[in-house]
Amino acid sequence: MAAEDRERWDARHAAVSAAGASDVPMPPDALRGREHLLPNGGRALDVACGRGTVAGWLAERGFVVDAVDISEAAVAAGAALAADRGVAERVRWWRYDLDAGLPGACAGPYDVVVCQRFRDPALYPVLAQRLAPGGLLVLTVQSVVGDEPGRFRASPGELLAAFAELTTLHHTESDGQASLLARRR
Q: Is 167 left (phi over 0), alpha (psi -120 to 50) or beta?
A: beta
Cβ atoms of 77 and 65 within 8 Å: the answer is: no
pLDDT at position 12: 62
- Looking at per-residue pLDDT, the higher value among 46 and 4 belongs to 46
Dihedral sign of CA atoms 65, 109, 2, 142 in order:
negative
pLDDT at position 21: 54
Q: How far apart are CA 149 and CA 65, in angstroms?
A: 33
Is the pLDDT at 151 greater than 80, yes or no? yes
Mean pLDDT for 82-88 is: 97
What are the residue boundaries of the structural domains of the chain, listed by start? 3-183
CA dihedral 130, 76, 5, 138 (to 10 degrees): 30
- Looking at per-residue pLDDT, the higher value among 128 and 99 belongs to 128
109 preceded by cis ω (within 30°)? Answer: yes
Among the four given CATH numbers 1.20.140.10, 3.20.20.20, 3.40.50.150, 3.40.30.10, the one describing domain 3-183: 3.40.50.150
pLDDT at position 69: 95
Share of the chain above pLDDT 90, in %: 82
pLDDT at position 19: 46
Entry pTM? 0.90
